[in-house]
Structure 1
């Protein structure tokens, strides 16, 4: 009997130890799983994503985005059209202005008594000089070639030309612009065989400098004008001061 009780006690103890062992294994497994879950901070996976992926567009957002895109495209097209119209308008304005002047595209002609207004005036310096001014009154540019050919009253020969007054280039006059030539009434020796002048004919020369072109300008000389055979006239100049240096 004693032997049976001992065996029973041993078996009961063994069963208790086995049960405790199973309970311990079950508790340890639950604790380890809890610790594994706590080790991963909340949102760590979200922090690794781009903002666009974390907040995708909904259907409304996509519609709004499409609307903004269409509006932007329309604005761009409108701006491009306005810019194109503005550029076309500016170009048209430039063409209109060019056509309005009528000078830049017009071919030049030769200055004559018919397309210029010629005046003659007495100057204080240099003494015994007159100043000729020819102003383009036409609608086209004109060239004042060489020197004017002058004839005082009933003189048989043209007035001498100062060859050293030739400019570097032919004087070109736009409408409204003027050319100048000075007249030295008499040279050395002076004071002899002077003629009192009343009338002056101004002829314009062609490019060939042979003969004259067009009708002359007929002028009345300033009072008490005397001229001599040794006088001279300069070439046409574009500047009054240049003309009066001779």
Structure 2
């Protein structure tokens, strides 16, 4: 009887030991699996790889931007230098040539054809013209120096307000104009004369007298003038401005 109970007790002890061993192994496996699941291997590797990738991309982008800016800057500078040099050289050359070779001569009575023309309006006016018959352009200065009579003491007075802003330059075949007021409206003067021609000479750049002038026949062979009331305009480049006074 004791032997049987001892055998049962031993058997129970063995079963219990086996159960405890099994539980210990299960707990060890669970602990091992839990430890493996919480290892930060993937978490550590991934951020490192991402950071390296971002850093590499940023470096590449910065390098590309710097290279592009350097290339653009060099290209712009080169284009500016070429354009500036070309435009500047052309402009300077053109301006120099134009101002040097095209400078007009001074007009002379020998290179001009003069005429006195009657006009309907305004009254008591005639138009004096000077046409360039020379082969080159010339400048005609100030106003025509006129002598309307042999008894005239000085050239006919000018209308100061008629002075143009620039000297009139005549190309070949071009004409300059001057308006001559011959008398007052009421024609009441003590210095009235009748003339068949008008003496004309030119002024130089300093308004000094030039060579001897020309005698211009008047329309119809006779022109009534009043020496104290006669006035002449500066040379103009068109007839309207010459007759506007």
Interval containing the TM-score (normalised by the shorter chain):
0.5 to 0.7
In structure 2, runs of 5+ residues without a counterpart are none
The structure-2 alpha-carbon separation of the partners of 1:174 and 1:85, relative to structure 1 and needing over 3 Å to count, comes to farther
CA distance in 1, matches of 2:31, 2:122: 127
CA distance in 1, matches of 2:79, 2:138: 38
The structure-2 alpha-carbon separation of the partners of 1:102 and 1:117, relative to structure 1 and needing over 3 Å to count, comes to farther
Q: What TM-score comes out, normalization by structure 1 length? A: 0.63
Instruction: Report whether the alignment pairs 1:12 with 2:14.
Output: yes
* Corresponding residue for residue 114 of structure 2: 119
CA distance in 1, matches of 2:36, 2:212: 122
- What do residues 97-144 of structure 1 show as CA deviations (whole Å, max 9, x unaligned)? 2112217x97x99x66469746334122223422234578876867x3
Mapping 1:8-157, distance limit 5 Å: 8-33=10-35, 36=38, 45=47, 49=51, 52-53=54-55, 73=71, 77=74, 80-102=77-99, 113=108, 117=112, 119-122=114-117, 123-133=119-129, 144-145=141-142, 147-152=143-148, 154-157=150-153
In structure 1, runs of 5+ residues without a counterpart are none
Q: What TM-score comes out, normalization by structure 2 length? A: 0.63
Structure having the larger proportion of residues in helix = 2
SS in 2 for 1:28: helix
SS in 1 for 2:157: coil
Mapping 1:176-215, distance limit 5 Å: 176=170, 180-187=177-184, 188-189=187-188, 194-204=193-203, 207=206, 212-215=208-211
Task: Please report how far the alpha carbon of residue 95 of structure 1 lies from its aligned counterpart in structure 2 after TM superposition.
Answer: 0.8
CA distance in 2, matches of 1:52, 1:158: 99
The structure-2 alpha-carbon separation of the partners of 1:130 and 1:93, relative to structure 1 and needing over 3 Å to count, comes to same
Q: How many residues align?
A: 224
